[in-house]
A and B are shown apart, each in its own frame.
Chain A
Amino acid sequence: MSNSLKIRTGLVLCCIVLALVSLGPTFFGSNLPDWWRKAFDPIHLGLDLQGGMHLVLGVEVDKAVESRLDTIVDQTEVLLREKDVIFKRVDRSPGERIVVTVYDEDAARQVDAMMAEEFPSLESMTLTSEGGYIQKNYRLSDNEIEAVREYAVRQALETLRNRVDQFGVSEPTLQRQANNRILIQLPGVKDPQRAIALLGKTARLEFKMVMEDANPQDAVAGNLPPGGQLLYERNVDPRTGAVTEIPLVVEDKTSLTGDLLSDAQVRIGNRFNDAYVSIEFNAVGAKRFDQITAANVGTRMAIVLDDTVYSAPVIRERISGGSAQISGSFTEQEATDLAIILRAGSLPAPVEILENRTVGPSLGQDSINQGIFSVLIGGLLVIVAMFIYYKVSGLVADFVLVLNLVFIMAILSIFGATLTLPGIAGIVLTVGMAVDANVLIFERIREEVRLGRTARAALEAGFEKAKLTIIDANVTTLIAALVLFQFGSGPVKGFAVTLSVGIVCSLFTAVIVSRLIFDLYLSRGKVDRLSI
């Protein structure tokens, strides 16, 4: 055996052994020793095969900018009052602007000075006067708007990650994408509707005082008292499941928000066995809660989540311990989920579900079975066809075809790529095309044999002449496959992965491995005729 032959044999054997070892965990799973399972992961199955949920959420960043402006409006009002500046009103207006309306030039100057000092991110705009008033316009700077948007998306990603972690899904994926989008993949999720309810909620928790002297019925009719807001309290009858909504007029101003929570837990009440959520405020929150309850004994305080009133208990006494409870008509599951989202924090802006693909586990299993069955049937037909057409040489092609499949799977497992249903289609296609390289070589060898060459010379010439053709033909297919990678994630990428891997593997198996097999055969002695 020549040296080159020995090296090549060693190399190919190494590849085969490595491939087989790496596939151990995929096929034998828990029967293998620990070190083996730690070294190689089993092949990851895509959501379409194992079942699960693929979500793309869009963060409504403009809402985050609006709420930033609202905060500035509130702060401005407070500051102006503190400084005894007389003003008519402070408003948010379209175009990321804040308008402060005052009565005279003097006040306008004072406002200008204060705004410049307190809110450097605001740009002063032209001064407009209107019917005896002076309106000062301030605009949020472009940098600040960009920063608020950026922060909203980052914060949303963080909050969603917290929620997903508490939801208990193994190996979730959360990724930030372009255009303020967030991709979430939850493999094997059992209850997709619950997942959506958990992830899609903004979870903005607010405590607002009820305006006891306002008549809710008037408010429903459109007659809202100034500084008031109409909300609905949602009640579910535990026996019939019927939902009733009771109108409630609360103060527009938020007394306290959920940002100041330190913990939230589900508890079961001992009187009616109903679930409620017990919340703990942090130091600042506890102090504020203490003040509010002290000042409002006897009035009702509405606990509002995303503009729905959960309950509005009467404050019977000052509460100074920093803990409270949210009761309402919810099931234990709902209470658990509420505690989860309160712990995970609210989203800085609402999110919109832009894309949702959910595959149930039963369909995934069917797809795996049908996919594997097609690969087997297709592969078997090809193997038989090659044997009939090329006899013993056909068997060589068949062997490298099987080897090709092993290599594809091994590479998927080593690089942690994901196998999807289109990915299986890519493998099926590769099976068909992988033999092409061998066909090209064999046809060349046949031509050379017809020209009267010896077996060795025909082999040599056949491989050499076919090699360039094979490379040219495969590179172009590879170009097409690589373009598919721009789809980022999901089923199409799975196809691109297996197709590209398959092309590279078939080049290796056809040009190197099958050549090696022929060379080994020839090295054993004088061969007159090839079975081809």
Chain B
Amino acid sequence: MQIIKHDINIDFVGKRKLALILSGVLILIGMASLIVNGGPKYGIDFVGGTLVQVKFTESTDPAKIKDSLASLDLGSVVVQSFGDDPKEFLIRVQVTDKDKNLSGKISGNLNMVYGEGSVDIRRMEMVGPQVGKDLRQKGILSIVYAMIGILIYISWRFELRFAIGAILALVHDMLITLGAFSITGREIDLPIIAAFLAIIGYSLNDTIIVYDRIRENYGKHKKKGFATVVNRSINETLSRTILTSGTTLLVVLALFIFGGGVIHNFAFAMLVGILIGTYSSIFVASPVLILWDDYRASKKKKVAAEGSS
């Protein structure tokens, strides 16, 4: 079976202006949302705080839970339902567990209001502000390190301009995924950093396969011009791109739907990242090479023109 005919020749390169506008709009929407919301919404991993996941034997609502915790004087309390289960909730408080028994107090109050044994503390996470700061720093650094490592590897295996194109595509993917998180009001916590690095890995994987073909075709068809070579390479690898993205999307979708609430945001990040990563290796990473080539050519021409006059 074939989805893509082998002699297909879509003019991807010709649509690069359109792609540029689309990418720009997506990034701008994301940035606008980030500005409106005052930056990314960090989870307790990065700002510190306490999170308690509770499951009741009967369904209830966040307001009632909040009321039953009022006597504890916890400051700002946020109660959200967890997944689709009307009996399961996340309780977030800004305080960290200084007195060492916050979850005990919360379960005590809930047991009092809802009746003994009707609530199960499923998970409790407390991160102190200092640890949160450390983790945030580590998270950012890890993304920077990954980019540097990749830049070095690609410059060594290909050329610097390929590395620049790949990194630009990565930044593009990160920004859009970050924007998607902001628009959907999702929190960024430690596993999301892992997801971001996985997106980096995936998006790059895709980009390199196109680059590899460009390098191979450039040797064979130098005379046809760089833009043509790039376009041809994208078309030749299109079938693979679609199949691999398809299978990866299938599994991530399975994770998104069936993986449970704890991993939901992670799967969401992957879902967005893979879609954008696939798009960017065709419409961002490759056109950057052409831009670079055009720029160099025009510079050469200018020098030549100046020389002849």
| Given contact pairs A468-B212, A486-B138, A480 touches B255 in the complex (Cβ within 8 A) | no
Say whether B145 faces chain A, with CB atoms less than 8 Å apart.
yes
Provide a sorted-by-A list of 9 A–B residue pairs whose CB atoms are within 8 angstroms: A354-B131, A374-B259, A378-B251, A389-B1, A425-B263, A479-B149, A486-B145, A491-B194, A499-B201
Label chain A's interface by main secondary structure. Answer: helix
B283 within 8 Å of A (CB atoms) = no
Assuming the A-B contacts A389-B243, A433-B248, A490-B190, are A200 and B1 also in contact, with contact meaning beta carbons closer than 8 angstroms in the complex?
A: no
Complex Cα gap A499–B194 (Å): 10
Residue B266 is within 8 A (CB to CB) of chain A in the complex: yes
Cα separation A366 to B87 with both chains bound (whole Å) = 15
* A367:B244 contact, CB within 8 angstroms: no
B 217-264 contacts with A by CB, 8 A: 236-237, 239-240, 243-244, 246-255, 257-260, 262-263
What residues of chain B lie closer than 8 Å to A457, measured between beta carbons? none
Q: Which 5 A-B pairs have the closest CB atoms?
A: A378-B251, A432-B248, A477-B201, A370-B260, A378-B254
Stretch at the interface among B27-35, B98-106, B297-305: B98-106
* Binary B-proximity of A468-509 (CB < 8 A = 1, otherwise 0): 110011111111111110110011100110010000000000
Q: Contact check: which of B1, B141, B209, B248 meets A388 at CB < 8 Å?
A: B1
Q: How far is the CB of A508 from chain B (nearest CB, A)?
A: 17
**Contact A487/B251 with A374-B258, A425-B263 known, Cβ cut-off 8 Å:** no
Q: Are A385 and B247 in contact (CB under 8 A)?
A: yes
Q: Is A428 located at the chain interface by the 8 A CB criterion?
A: yes
Docked Cα-Cα span, A469 to B212, in Å, equals: 6
Residues in A lying within 8 Å of B, measured CB to CB:
48, 56, 58, 192-193, 196-197, 200, 352-360, 362-363, 366-367, 370-371, 373-374, 377-379, 381-382, 385-386, 388-391, 421-422, 424-426, 428-429, 431-433, 435-436, 439-440, 443, 446-447, 450, 468-469, 472-484, 486-487, 490-492, 495-496, 499
Residues of B near A450 (CB, < 8 A) are 6
B77 CB → nearest A CB, Å: 18
In-complex Cβ contact of B205 among A193, A378, A476 (8 A): A476
A378 to B138, CA, bound (A): 32
Q: A483–B142 contact, CB under 8 A? A: yes
List residues of chain A with CB within 8 A of the CB of B97.
353, 356
Nearest-neighbour CB distance to chain A for B136, whole angstroms, equals 12
A382-B251, A386-B247, A450-B6 given; A356·B125 CB < 8 A: yes
**List of A residues within 8 angstroms of B1 by Cβ:** 388-391
Report if A377-B254 is in contact (Cβ < 8 Å); known contacts: A359-B123, A432-B247, A439-B243.
yes
Given the contacts A429-B270, A480-B197, A357 and B251 also touching, CB distance less than 8 Å: no
Interface size on B, residues (CB 8 A): 72
Distance, CA A192 to CA B247, complexed state (A): 42
A-contact 0/1 string along B187-216, CB 8 Å cutoff? 000110110011011101100110011000
Q: Is the CB of A358 within 8 A of B191?
A: no
Please give the distance in Å from B24's CB to the nearest CB on chain A: 26
Q: Which of B91-128 contact A (CB under 8 A)?
A: 97, 100-101, 103-104, 120-128
B125 touches A483 (CB 8 A): no
A362 to B3, CA, bound (A): 44
**Cα distance, A363 to B52, chains bound together (Å):** 12
CA gap between A478 and B146 in the complex, in Å: 10
